[in-house]
Structure 1
Amino acid sequence: MERLGHMFINLQQVRQVPWLLRESLPSVPSTLRASEVPPLFRVPSILSGYRPPGQPWRYYALSVFLRHNETVNVWTHLLGALCVLFWALRLGQTVDFVGDVHAWPLLLLVCTAFGYLALSTLAHLLSARSPLLFHVFYFLDYLGIALYQYGSAAAHLHYAAQPGWRGPGGPGGAFLGVAALLAWLSCLAGCCSKLGARGEPSWGQKLCHVVPCGLAYAWDSGPVFHRVYTCLPVCADDPAGRFHAVQLGCFLASAVFFSCGVPERWLPGRCDFLPQGHQLFHLLMVLCTCGQIHGSHLDYLQRRALYTQTQSAALLPGLLLSLFALLALTCILTCVLMTRTASRLLGHKHKES
């Protein structure tokens, strides 16, 4: 009888397991159609798969494992961030990031690359909770992109640039200052375009976002364009040059998908989960970043005789870090001011409704 009693107790405990799981896990509401969410959350030509706003934080955090129209956007940059983090740990075993100041541009590139991928992941994962958080997370996303732009410019100038870029007559002297200014303008333009978003963006909003980013990219990648152009006849003898060429090709292709919104524009409602232009943009940007980091690492190893002669080890840390700190501070202040503006605008809109 005692044994039967223990078996009955164990059976009762087993029966309680599903109830305990249901109580410990959040409820999972079904996704919504575009017409059922505020215009701010709608993506052109994506007609379903929207997560309902106003749910608990854990719903959006665990939605990384659910099927919705942001799932692939989250995973592409999440896996990209993990790849960059793994790469950084591997580089840390062979590169003296502390004692060798000439390794600092490479470290800055890796850190800012991880930062922009991580912030993009959070924006796509958590921004659907409320209109204000939608703005906040995408403002942070643009901050991460601006810092990455500066990190790219620093690595390109230090490692990839040909000798003509480094001399007194070349643009290298003011290169980082202009790169920091363009990065801040890129952050400001992105925040302004998102601040005015009310559903499908107008051409004016697209131009406000794309043009500053395009100018920043053209300036930051100037040394790489020049490097690839000059090495085209002998790229077989320049392994890093091949990776820089891959970097440029992936970025230019990603810009097409980011700007045009294809293939969903051609197939409205049929790309709500996969494939979307923004997903292809994410994937190409991850490939671009990986090619960029690997090419810069090869240049760090193979071109040391060049960059140690033209880049002062005494002046490099101060210039590199002071401009980065100034850029980070101005971008943070920009995001704070834009968040206050968004809160005020959303408050006025709520009162009017």
Structure 2
Amino acid sequence: MLSVKLPRLFSIEQMPQVFHEQGILFGYRHPQSSATACVLSLFQMTNETLNIWTHLLPFWFFAWRFVTVLYVTDIQNDSYSWPLLVYMGTSCVYPLASSCAHTFSSMSRNARHICYFLDYGAVNLFGLGSAIAYSAYTFPDALVHTTFHDYYVTLAVLNTIISTGLSCYSRLGLAAGEAGSFAPGEELYQAGRNIFSSRRKSMLWGMALPSQSRLSFCLFLFPGESAQNEATLYHQKHTAITLLASFFYSAHLPERLAPGRFDYIGHSHQLFHVCVILATHVQMEAILLDKTLRQEWLLVNSRPLSFPQIAGAILLCLVFSLGNIIYFSAALYRIPEPELHKKET
């Protein structure tokens, strides 16, 4: 009878520093796992298993919704729907990239960093997709046709490029700190950790920018009659869930209070993933409602984004973000490899 031997798991004391997670003591995969072992770990309870599945399953759900909308849309002639298609496409990209990053991040030190470089790029691309949809369907009445509205997508492009670059740069600083390549000793490693903390902030800003725009301009600046519709409650829920996700991402709770108790189920990154997916689902419902309920007003009062504007924004971000990822990935290989001090028993 055919049997599959699942990979062995390790404790935090047996792992190199780069793989350590605060408050997570057990359930680590081998730091030089093969691609096959990484895939097999999807069906084994490790401290990464739910991180993978909480984004892999929603990817298929968002992909199904995207294909459904694509099927009923006249892509060539319905320019009003183009921003929605871009948004729904990017909402599929980031869960897939995240699940792949968590799946293959245990192959090596450099593979781990490169996986998360790609993850940051996907998350920030989703931020751009959200901004394009917000510009097309959600902008408050009072701000339509303003300079801010005209340059909103341009600002989102800059945000995406800069945020991806800063995220990758700060993770490179962490890698250098782990290797001790800038200065000797524990002090440098802690410096790398401090640099890495700024990456968290830049990544969260890249994700939260569209939500904060809606919060600031729709809830506090009287959005106008056309924007006061059933979507408003969804936007409020989206903002609240996004803030909750930010809290879990930064606070390392509950595992920080009870190390070892939440290694497999219930640690902060899993909760962060769940909140992010819920926020995207609620945001998608809000955008679909805005697109439908405000269509008549927007077609009369707003200038729709053209195909060159949309395609140019996406292509510009892809080129610069991939350029950043390739540059920082190459830089990783110029950092001396730290000794893998595994203490297997």
Do they fold alike, i.e. is TM over 0.5?
A: yes
1:323 aligns with 2:323: no
Residue among 172, 184, 189 paired with 2:166:
189
| CA positional deviation for 1:237 | 6.6
Relative to structure 1, the CA distance from residue 224 to residue 272 in structure 2 (aligned partners, 3 Å threshold; closer, same or farther) is same
User: What pairs up with 1:120-159 in 2 under 5 angstroms?
Assistant: 120-159=98-137
Q: Supply the AA of the counterpart residue of 1:294.
A: E
- 2:343 corresponding residue in structure 1: none
- 2:186 corresponding residue in structure 1: none
- 1:9 corresponding residue in structure 2: none
| Secondary structure class of the residue paired with 1:171 | helix
Whole-angstrom CA distance in 2 between matches of 1:274 and 1:177:
41
User: Which deviates the most, 156-165 or 85-94?
Assistant: 85-94
| CA positional deviation for 1:216 | 3.6
Are the equivalent residues in 2 in contact too, given 1:235–1:241 (CA < 8 A)? no
1:295 aligns with 2:286: yes
Q: Deviations over 1:243-270 (max 9, x none)?
A: 1111111101000000111000001111
RMSD: 2.5
1:270 aligns with 2:247: no
| CA positional deviation for 1:219 | 4.0
Residue among 78, 84, 88 paired with 2:66:
88
- Larger Rg over CA atoms: 1
1:161 aligns with 2:139: yes
- 1:258 corresponding residue in structure 2: 249
1:279 aligns with 2:270: yes
1:180 aligns with 2:171: no
> Where does structure 2 lack aligned partners over 5 or more consecutive residues?
179-188, 341-345
Normalised by the size of structure 2, how large is the TM-score?
Answer: 0.87
Q: Deviations over 1:91-150 (max 9, x none)?
A: 234333442111111111111111011000001111101111111111110110111010
Relative to structure 1, the CA distance from residue 250 to residue 263 in structure 2 (aligned partners, 3 Å threshold; closer, same or farther) is same
Are the equivalent residues in 2 in contact too, given 1:250–1:288 (CA < 8 A)? yes
Are the equivalent residues in 2 in contact too, given 1:73–1:282 (CA < 8 A)? yes
The structure that is helix-richer by fraction is 1
Residue among 329, 333, 339 paired with 1:343:
333
- 2:42 corresponding residue in structure 1: 64
Are the equivalent residues in 1 in contact too, given 2:24–2:259 (CA < 8 A)? yes
Identity, % of aligned positions:
26
Whole-angstrom CA distance in 2 between matches of 1:164 and 1:233:
7
> Where does structure 1 lack aligned partners over 5 or more consecutive residues?
1-17
Are the equivalent residues in 2 in contact too, given 1:123–1:137 (CA < 8 A)? yes
Are the equivalent residues in 1 in contact too, given 2:140–2:224 (CA < 8 A)? no
Normalised by the size of structure 1, how large is the TM-score?
Answer: 0.85
User: Which deviates the most, 208-217 or 259-268?
Assistant: 208-217
Q: Supply the AA of the counterpart residue of 1:153.
A: A
Q: Between the two structures, name the one with larger relative contact order (CA 8 Å, sep ≥ 6).
A: 2
Are the equivalent residues in 1 in contact too, given 2:141–2:224 (CA < 8 A)? no
Relative to structure 1, the CA distance from residue 39 to residue 290 in structure 2 (aligned partners, 3 Å threshold; closer, same or farther) is same
Whole-angstrom CA distance in 2 between matches of 1:237 and 1:179:
24
Q: Supply the AA of the counterpart residue of 2:104.
A: L
Q: Supply the AA of the counterpart residue of 2:319.
A: L
